[in-house]
Structure 1
Amino acid sequence: MFNTAGKIAIAQLAFFIIAIFPALYCLFKHGQHGLLGWGFLCVFCIIRIVGAAIIVSDESTNKTLSEAGLIIASVAIAPLIISIGGIAHESYTSIKSHRRIIFGFLPHVVVHFGCVAAIAMIALGYTKFEKIASTTSDMKTRLDMVRAGGILLLAVWLGIAVIVAVSFLYPRDLRGEKQLIRGVVVAMLAMVVRILYTTLGAFIKTASFNLRTGGTIAEKVVLDLLPEFIFTFALLAAGIASRNLKYEREMK
């Protein structure tokens, strides 16, 4: 009999096994400009599939949720953020000439370094967090690492949100870019819920925000599952709708 984590993992496994195919399609159709965004969306789907499979395996053999499953669950947020940054960047192509420093390469470097640093702190904190030999001081240090990583993720999200908001001040020339940015806005709203869920788990000591034990099915669906599903679906819908963006640029 599967508990809450197992049931959530089964839903994730089913959803992302299906989602990986349109993600690969978008990666192929969007070409060079969409390589970063769609590539990392594919990575996100793969990480979710692997992580969910580990949890399902643990649950089916009555094992405690493994450290590997916990780490994979926490680090999946990194490709999620990088993918939305990359897809947003693809929608800036026709307006880069207005503000290259805002819509160019530099913001992406900042996003990548911010994500890597945040996920390194979160993963390391979770890896060591439940070691039996840990002292009270060690536990506090590791909890602080998870908290700092979550706050940094929120800062990265805010940076992307500011750039996306500024981009609306400039008209986009291509229909596909307009479709992409609409999907990005919806995905950004879903993503902040998911980041808050991870971050608050380090600050609020309740079952609802415990990554290992989880909460009720309803709580996990609202705070964990549904935001990721909305995020992925919004980007895939925008990506498929703008599948001819590469040819729009060639015809311009």
Structure 2
Amino acid sequence: MTKLSTVELAIYAVLVLPAAFILSKHSKPGLLGWFYLVAFFTLRIVGGAMALSGSSSASIVANIGLSPLILAAAGILHEARIYRHRNLNTKVEWIKILLFHLQVTGGVALLAAGASGLQSSNPSSSDQALVKVGIAILTVAWAVLFGWAMLSLRSSGGVQGTHAQRLGTMKLLYAVLFSCIFIGIRTLYSLVAMTSNKPNLNPSTGSLAIRVVLGFLPELVAVLGFIAVGFYTRAIRDASQAEPGYEQAGSTMIEMKPQQQQGGHALLSTV
């Protein structure tokens, strides 16, 4: 546990810096996704430090760390949908986001409550039940997220924008789909580990090889995918603002009058 915690702490302490930079560049449309990615790194750093200090609460922090990663993927998908669909009903979209957040929050709350009870001096069967229900809810949330991303990729109605903007939007969508595969591996590993109660599958004290292959590496690959695409699309908002006929206001797109239109394209790789 100590060696893996040291590696996690070192890697995520480095990755949180580019994640914070990407958050500042993507601004309001990407606030949800990139904020939760920074939150995920922060939780992993805190959890790693607690594990190294021998804190009994480290496993609880490790268990709830999956939720901000799922929410980060949902937020990045939301950003891609904003740029991809100019006729997107923002009220309906935000209702979907809110309901998804409530689902994930409810799942992680049950998981944390159950895990805390199991760490106490008098664990009960109800604590184990809470853990199982909580991780089951998070697994369903991951399935919903993956299906949502697939539908967003297939649906092309109302797609507009500059070539650079469309390219950046597709990069964001593909990043979500790519990372969802590895988030799914991590989520299913937690589901099996927490429902089977096999010692070698325990996310905190089980086999090191299993924890690395099914726990640490899937998370790392997922976040590296987000970091790479987030850096590549760091000027997507500028590309949107430079598109003739449209002006971006927060997370909605407003059509401009002809005399207000401006030409030009912004490269996504411009800082």
Q: 1:147 aligns with which of 123, 132, 135?
A: 132
Residue 9 in 1 paired to residue 1 in 2? Answer: no
1 CA distance for matches of 2:48 and 2:41?
11
Residue 208 in 1 paired to residue 232 in 2? Answer: no
Q: 2:190 aligns with which of 187, 198, 223?
A: 198
- Tell me the C-alpha RMSD between the 2 structures: 1.7
What TM-score, normalized to structure 2? 0.82
Deviations 1:180-209 (A, max 9, x none): 111111110010111112211221122232
Q: CA deviation at 1:107?
A: 1.6
Percentage of pairs with the same residue? 25
Residue 156 in 1 paired to residue 141 in 2? Answer: yes
Summarize the alignment of residues 50-89 of structure 1 with structure 2, pairs less than 5 Å apart.
50-58=46-54, 66-89=55-78
Deviations 1:138-192 (A, max 9, x none): 2x21111111111101111111111111111234542211111111111100101
Q: Which runs of 5+ in 1 are unaligned?
A: 59-65
1 CA distance for matches of 2:80 and 2:200?
37
Whether contact under 8 Å (2:189, 2:214) holds in the other structure is yes
Q: Of Structure 1 and Structure 2, which has the larger fraction of its residues in helix? A: 1
What TM-score, normalized to structure 1? 0.88
2 CA distance for matches of 1:133 and 1:179?
49
Q: CA deviation at 1:89?
A: 0.6
Indicate the residue corresponding to 2:112 in structure 1: 123
Matched residue SS, 1:91? helix
Matched residue SS, 2:195? coil
Which amino acid counterpart does residue 107 of structure 1 have in structure 2? K
The 10-residue stretch of structure 1 (198-207 or 116-125) with the greater mean CA deviation from structure 2: 198-207
Residue 234 in 1 paired to residue 225 in 2? Answer: yes
1 CA distance for matches of 2:30 and 2:231?
12
2 CA distance for matches of 1:241 and 1:16?
20
Q: Which runs of 5+ in 2 are unaligned?
A: 161-165, 244-271
Matched residue SS, 1:46? helix
Whether contact under 8 Å (2:56, 2:119) holds in the other structure is no
Deviations 1:224-248 (A, max 9, x none): 1101100110000110111110111
Q: 1:246 aligns with which of 237, 244, 247?
A: 237
Indicate the residue corresponding to 1:62 in structure 2: none
2 CA distance for matches of 1:28 and 1:131?
41
Indicate the residue corresponding to 2:215 in structure 1: 224
Q: 1:180 aligns with which of 172, 179, 182?
A: 172
1 CA distance for matches of 2:132 and 2:39?
25
* Residues paired across the two proteins, number: 236
Whether contact under 8 Å (1:176, 1:243) holds in the other structure is no
Indicate the residue corresponding to 1:61 in structure 2: none
2 CA distance for matches of 1:180 and 1:55?
34
Q: CA deviation at 1:97?
A: 4.6
Residue 43 in 1 paired to residue 39 in 2? Answer: yes
Which amino acid counterpart does residue 20 of structure 2 have in structure 1? L
Which amino acid counterpart does residue 5 of structure 2 have in structure 1? A
Q: CA deviation at 1:103?
A: 7.4
Which amino acid counterpart does residue 238 of structure 2 have in structure 1? Y
Select the structure with the greater relative contact order (CA < 8 A; seq sep ≥ 6): 1
Which amino acid counterpart does residue 24 of structure 1 have in structure 2? A
